[in-house]
Amino acid sequence: MKHDWWLSATRPLDQTACALAAERQRRLTKPRGSLGRLERLAIHLAALQGRERPAVERLWIAIFAGDHGVAEEGVSPYPQAVTGQMLRNFATGGAAISVLARQLGAELELIDLGTAEPLEPPPAGVRRQHLGPGTANFLRGPAMSVRQGLDALAAGRDSVRRAQAAGAHLYIGGEMGIANTSSASALASALLEQPAAALIGPGTGLDAAGLARKVAVVERALALHGAHAGEPLEILRRLGGFEIAALAGAYLACAQEGLPALVDGFICSVAALLAVRLNPACRDWLLFAHRGAEPGHRGVLEALAAEPLLDLGLRLGEGSGAALAVPLLQSACRLHGEMATFAEAAVADAGR
């Protein structure tokens, strides 16, 4: 893959807004630092949004769906048809992320990048950007062609541009794709230079035999493609999925367009690690929602120096963990923006 838009400069943080927000925190009617990380989140969001009082009210959630050829190796207890069936479930409002998006009043964008079985009739509300009937089996060669990889990255970028045009305050990416934890685990193993067995978990519910099979499949994939581990774009093409590439493209675009991104679980965090390897400056624009149950998630978060907001043992995906963390960000912003200062409330400031 040739270098392109993802290497462009990211939006610089607004240091003036950051300083004003920090000063405001010092003047609010509470002991300094008493709201812990909520204070730091508000200040960081101020720097990202370029205003003393940030807001996280207009939310854009984009779910990228794509199938994986490696599913034919039996790495998931679910058939590939479930990817398309769940996409329809998202569209009709029955999935976890659908419920959470309604609760938050968020825009929910659904993007079909390539399901193995065509959705007939196509569900209303699903944007169809088919790059193929899923990726190729990475035990036989690269998962994606060069063109597919580029187009998947661009699909994420274009979603962010739609979110930005709609005036979103925060971008959340989610994914759906049977066997995508195998793809994410292979990528994590290559990027972190750690053995597959230390990173791989049951995903959607594999038993012991299924887990052993999954580890063996990923180890074979790494033997075939591992020589490219130092080339993030190439290893993404070889081991990734349409939805993982789109998420990486989205995170890169968020940093370039100046839109904060809240990263979901293991698969999304692997995409974030790829984005940071492609353009390290994008890291400032990424917030991390939670630490999930997949064993590899901890190592990926550590590589990103990420401090997730929640640790609830989640392993659903779909952007659901990020959606659950949004109220914390909203509370941080509202406390920061709506609390009275000592002067406003006529309360003596002890200088704490």
Residues 6-27 as b/e (b if ≥16 CB within 10 A, e otherwise) read beeebbebbeebbebbbebbee
Main-chain phi, psi angles of 341, to 5 degrees:
-85, 165
Residues 115-132 as b/e (b if ≥16 CB within 10 A, e otherwise) read bbeebeeebeebbebebb
Main-chain phi, psi angles of 22, to 5 degrees:
-65, -40
Active site (catalytic) residues: 318
Integer Cα distance of 79 and 67 in angstroms: 10
Q: Which amino acid is at 91?
A: A
Give CA angle at 145 (141, 146), nearest 5°.
125
The 8-class DSSP code of residue 28 comes to B
Helix residue ranges per DSSP H, 169-229: 180-192, 196-199, 208-225
Rounded to whole angstroms, the maximal C-alpha distance in the chain is 71
Phi-psi label, residue 313: left if phi above 0, alpha if psi -120 to 50, beta otherwise = left
Give CA angle at 256 (255, 257), nearest 5°.
95
